[in-house]
Chain A
Amino acid sequence: MSNKPSDAINPSIPLTDTPDVSRRNLFRIVGTTLLSAELVSAQDAKDAHAGMAMPAAATGPKSLNGGPNYIPKHLKPHYFKTMRALGDLIMPADATSPAASEAGAAEFIDFLCSRNEDLAAIFDGGLSWLDQYMIHKHGTDFLSSKPADQTGLLDLAYGSRGGSPETAGGAQFFTWARNMVVDAYYTSPVGVKDIGYMGNTAVSVFSVPKEAVDYALKRSPFGA
């Protein structure tokens, strides 16, 4: 593993820039035994598929939240907390799935800010603007403001016409924040589960469920 100890946040957070495929010993077995023989029996192929399915099924930790003791790599602790709260307002929990903090959205943003100074400038500046705006308008920073005042700002920032003149100063930041929170969400276990992606596994036969075919055909101009 190429990770540096300084990347450690929490045992449940992945640490590496590159995936450690070597832990998947089955890959090695699959790759070397099959290519050495001209004839692959049906059982050999099935074994290979089972070997390929196994690591894919290990979907890792459910939550990527670094917890209350998380030490940010780049953002000041206050701004990290602000980012976590903002993330949960952008993508709150609903009946189906948890909020952005369980997808490690703030941790993801903080990590990349520690690796890219242009990104760091966008978030340092944006989170600072956010507090300035709230203090100017409501007398308290974003975290300490009333929920109604927080959503009041987001209504302006993410309004139907893509923001208001009042929030124009934060416009670039709001776009970045939403993009990265949404990105973090759907590249996390909770997001993949929410959207219902069921692949990244290995099967011996490809087939499509009749239920799905019927559903789409019935709704299409072609009919069932």
Chain B
Amino acid sequence: MLQVQRAPAVHDVVVIGSGAGGGTTVKVLTDLGINVTLLEAGPMLDPMKDFKEHVWPWEVNHRGSGPAAESYFGKQQWSYWNAPNGYWDVPGEPYSVAQGEEFRWFRSRILGGRTNHYGRISLRFSDYDFKPQAFDGLGFDWPVTYEEMSPWYDKAEGFMGVTGTHEGLRTAPDGNFLPPVAPRVHEMLVQRAGKKLNIPVIPSRMAMLTKSIHGRAACHYCGQCGRGCHTASAFTSSQAMIFPAMKTGKLNIITGAMARELLVNDEGLVSGVSYVDKATRSEKTIRARAVVVAASACESARLLLNSKSTKYPAGLANNSGVVGRYLTDTVGYSLGGSVPALENMPRHNCDGIGGMHVYVPWWELEKKNKDFPRGYHIEIGGGFGMPQLGSFRGAAANAGYGAGIKAAARQQYGTNVNFAGRGEMIPNEHSYCEIDNTKVDQWGIPVLKFHWISQPYEIKMVQHMHDTFTAMIEAMGGRVPNRSFDPAANISKGGQIIHEAGTVRMGDDPKKSALNKWSQAHEVKNLVVADAAPFNGNPDKNVTLTIVANAWRAAEHLAEEMKKGNV
């Protein structure tokens, strides 16, 4: 039987979600002496138990396939070695997609959310990214400028620890950087290919510590950031923000808490949160002076849309009707090639930081007559990685059987260089989410329905990526695999790059936006949204650094408003 329990206390601030936005909010508010209660839908994270850092494949009997050979049958959700984080399919939590369209919704249900596994690429948005409409007439201007955001980027980078160098490029604004990491051999070849083709290849900007800061030891260069880092040298909101906040005595964490609805009082303000305690399936209510929603862009929109009341029949903070609209993800396309110059190269440890040591910022901003607006950055992959199941099947297939297999594997090892384009998607009317009124999840919460149609600009950008990557590989003397290419088919699916943004956008006009420039709801001043939902666009620069900077800014503003008695 369902039980409804009412907690008597009124909490200062309740934060929903513990990823980049929620973690930042928790850190900033507890540092300012405010009591915070954090609701996380998943379990507590225990890095010592949950992170498989430094484990060799043979240290588990299935060597990484999963205990029942899942990877051999396409049933493994995510690499066995990765930090626990979630997946596109969550048991008991379905979603709908409009007929004939495709969208995949990644959910992470654990303390720290997606920051436990993310790539840690940390790029500032450029001046024109905040004012895209003014720049070329497309998309929507933010109610903030780069100049206003810049000090918050300084704080975010200073705390997270981001590698980089000062380059003076408009497409890649410089920041508050830790020293860069030396390029690997294949990355030096990419640098030379870039020089030949007039494409900049610069040190990457990644949230791994090349110096010890804030109680976190400098990186030990094992390249396994995706598995989770025991020394917290790779940024996560769980280890770098929430665990230290737990020691302040100002933070109360409730795990296994799936938010159902935000409650409002007679004045139209948020009075608390109704949530499902998953372990007991009981309904609980927590009362709060202010609520910060940071459940991830689509989950935050879902929560607001499901918070319907007499006063707010279209959902909370949705008088404008924009909640759920203008959903964006990154435009993705990858191409790898084999580079003979790297064959049989003298072996060495090139693990480094997890991911690239150099990257390509967008280089054709000023170019006229392009067939798509703005652009993309390129992420570089390659090197002598730890062998895994599947690493040498291709070499073996070509060799047949016998001694030739080892010879082929030795020659091929480390020769593949991969290019991944990450491009800007202009928000459009066709890509959005709404409540599917016909379906609820296992907690009885109405689910989302997605609408997604790739736009011609995005498909043209993928063609440009393919041509560029091919030219880069060939400039290195490499071979591009002989396979068919069709940009409309090879473009990443919506949600696949896991950079959803823009479903609860901010703006100066309450008729066209849900939040003000401080990410505070126009109609509900004690409600703040602190993930990527407030974004007015999704530039070619990945979302996490801007989530942290914007959440930091929003949290300090909320604290001031509380101090002044306005909230």
**Which A positions have Cβ atoms within 8 angstroms of B?**
3, 7, 13-19, 21-22, 24, 27-28, 30-31, 34-42, 44-45, 48-49, 52-53, 55-56, 59-60, 64, 89-92, 94, 96-97, 104, 108, 111-112, 115-116, 118-119, 151, 154, 157-160, 178-180, 182-189, 191-192, 194-209, 211-213, 215-217, 219-222
Chain B hits for A91, CB < 8 A: 402, 405-406
Complex: A206 Cα to B352 Cα, angstroms: 6
Chain B hits for A160, CB < 8 A: 400
Contact assessment for B405 and A183 in the assembled complex, using a CB-CB cutoff below 8 Å: no
Contact assessment for B220 and A208 in the assembled complex, using a CB-CB cutoff below 8 Å: no
Chain A hits for B196, CB < 8 A: 222
CB neighbors of A among B209-231 (8 A):
212-218, 220-224, 230-231
Contact assessment for A182 and B349 in the assembled complex, using a CB-CB cutoff below 8 Å: no
Identify the closest chain A residue to B391 (Cβ).
Answer: A186
With A16-B59, A52-B230 given, can you name 9 additional A-B contacts, CB distance below 8 Å? A19-B59, A40-B215, A119-B69, A154-B401, A154-B402, A199-B350, A208-B184, A215-B346, A216-B186
Contact assessment for A60 and B58 in the assembled complex, using a CB-CB cutoff below 8 Å: yes
Q: Among A34, A44, A52, A221, which residue has its beta carbon within 8 angstroms of that of B222?
A: A52
Q: Among B189, B350, B410, which residue has its beta carbon within 8 angstroms of that of A220?
A: B189
Contact assessment for A200 and B386 in the assembled complex, using a CB-CB cutoff below 8 Å: yes
Q: Among A19, A154, A178, which residue has its beta carbon within 8 angstroms of that of B396?
A: A178
Contact assessment for B212 and A198 in the assembled complex, using a CB-CB cutoff below 8 Å: no
Chain B hits for A92, CB < 8 A: 402-403
Identify the closest chain A residue to B80 (Cβ).
Answer: A18
Contact assessment for B220 and A48 in the assembled complex, using a CB-CB cutoff below 8 Å: yes
Contact assessment for A35 and B48 in the assembled complex, using a CB-CB cutoff below 8 Å: no
Chain B hits for A158, CB < 8 A: 400-401
Cβ distance A108 to chain B, nearest Cβ, rounded Å: 7
Complex: A92 Cα to B393 Cα, angstroms: 16
Cβ distance B458 to chain A, nearest Cβ, rounded Å: 33
**Which B positions have Cβ atoms within 8 angstroms of A?**
47-49, 51-65, 67-69, 72-73, 181-186, 188-189, 192, 196, 212-218, 220-224, 230-232, 239, 243-244, 247, 339-343, 345-353, 384-393, 396-397, 400-403, 405-406, 409-410, 413, 475-477
Cβ distance A185 to chain B, nearest Cβ, rounded Å: 8
Identify the closest chain B residue to A182 (Cβ).
Answer: B396
A-B pairs with lowest CB-CB distance, top 3 = A202-B220, A187-B57, A196-B347
Contact assessment for B243 and A35 in the assembled complex, using a CB-CB cutoff below 8 Å: yes
Chain A hits for B231, CB < 8 A: 30-31, 34, 48, 52
Contact assessment for A40 and B58 in the assembled complex, using a CB-CB cutoff below 8 Å: no
Q: By CB atoms of chain B within 10 A, which of A16, A180, A219 has the most? A: A219
Contact assessment for B222 and A199 in the assembled complex, using a CB-CB cutoff below 8 Å: yes
Chain A hits for B347, CB < 8 A: 196-198
Complex: A48 Cα to B218 Cα, angstroms: 9
Contact assessment for A203 and B386 in the assembled complex, using a CB-CB cutoff below 8 Å: no
Contact assessment for B402 and A90 in the assembled complex, using a CB-CB cutoff below 8 Å: yes
Given contacts A111-B62, A199-B386, contact A206 B396 (CB under 8 A): no
User: What are 17 A-B residue pairs whose CB atoms fall within 8 Å in the complex?
Assistant: A22-B48, A24-B54, A35-B215, A40-B218, A52-B220, A89-B402, A90-B402, A96-B406, A97-B406, A180-B72, A185-B392, A188-B58, A198-B347, A198-B349, A208-B348, A220-B192, A221-B477
